[in-house]
Amino acid sequence: MPQQLTIALSKGRIFEETLPLLAAAGIVPSEAPENSRKLIIPTNHPNIRLVIVRASDVPTYVQYGAADLGIAGKDVLIEHGGEGLCQPLDLNIAHQPLDLQIAKCRMMVAVPQGFDYAAASQPGCRLRIATKYPNIAAEHFAAKGVHVDIIKLYGSMELAPLVGLSDCIVDLVSTGNTLKANNLEAVEHIANISSRLIVNKAALKTKYALLNPIIEAFAGAIPS
């Protein structure tokens, strides 16, 4: 029985931007998740399939070996932690994980336009932060010596300061259009975000012959 390989992806921007990397590895999905309700998508390769999961669930599927590899944003990986996962290294940059340079954005602090963030974020001050990223937010404000009450949300963070749920948000920004449309402004940069390849630790050993050519093809096809 030949070994099977399962790749976990989220639909939307990650799926779209991963297609060229898959193509470089000779893998072509039989359909696009946007046009299908299928959660398991076969590929042209009889032993390789894709599973479509929520972006924040990709590390969980890979950690438990339900998928052998996956692609997830650095935001999701920082929040999830690294248990059971490994990130292949970039052979061109010593000790750096391979960054796929896809789904790029920035983790930012944003506030309502006109809010005096410089004054409100002095050491010893207290801020209410709404975010989907409680670990990233807590670490950022702890380093600044600012006390925070973190309100965990699952989406539409931009609404929270508009209706008095929080003073600020910690969220991803790409074009800035969502902030602008809601009269918010980015006031602090926390991290640059892009996506990374994650591999199940055990699968990296037991399925090395199947996995390694895919990892190498992805590395060779990273957009500059």
Give the binding site for ligand PRT (CB under 6 A).
Answer: 10, 12-14, 54-56, 73, 75-76, 103, 105, 155, 171-178, 193, 195
Q: Which is nearer to ligand PRT, 101 or 178 (CB)?
A: 178
**Shortest spacing between CB 208 and ligand PRT, in angstroms:** 28
Specify the DSSP element, H or E, that contains 150.
strand 147-152
Q: Which is nearer to ligand PRT, 173 or 215 (CB)?
A: 173
**Shortest spacing between CB 162 and ligand PRT, in angstroms:** 14
**Shortest spacing between CB 164 and ligand PRT, in angstroms:** 20
Rounded CA-CA distance 18/222 in Å is: 10
Strand-pair category, 195-200 with 168-173: unpaired
Q: Which is nearer to ligand PRT, 105 or 214 (CB)?
A: 105
Q: Is 73 exposed, middle or buried (0-12, 13-18, 19+ CB in 10 A)?
A: buried
- Nearest residue (beta carbon) to ligand PRT: 73
**Shortest spacing between CB 186 and ligand PRT, in angstroms:** 9
Residue 55, number of CB atoms within 10 A of its CB: 19
Q: Which is nearer to ligand PRT, 103 or 203 (CB)?
A: 103
Rounded CA-CA distance 172/220 in Å is: 27
Q: Which is nearer to ligand PRT, 35 or 175 (CB)?
A: 175
Q: Which is nearer to ligand PRT, 185 or 216 (CB)?
A: 185
Q: What letter does residue 103 receive in the DSSP assignment?
A: S
CB hemisphere CA count around 98 (13 angstroms): 22
Nearest residue to 198 via CA among 92, 93, 80: 80
Strand-pair category, 126-131 with 105-112: unpaired
**Shortest spacing between CB 85 and ligand PRT, in angstroms:** 15
Rounded CA-CA distance 138/71 in Å is: 25
Q: Which is nearer to ligand PRT, 108 or 148 (CB)?
A: 108
**Shortest spacing between CB 96 and ligand PRT, in angstroms:** 18
Contact 205, 9 (CB under 8 A): no
Euclidean distance between the first and the last CA atom of the chain, given in angstroms as a whole number: 39
**Shortest spacing between CB 173 and ligand PRT, in angstroms:** 4
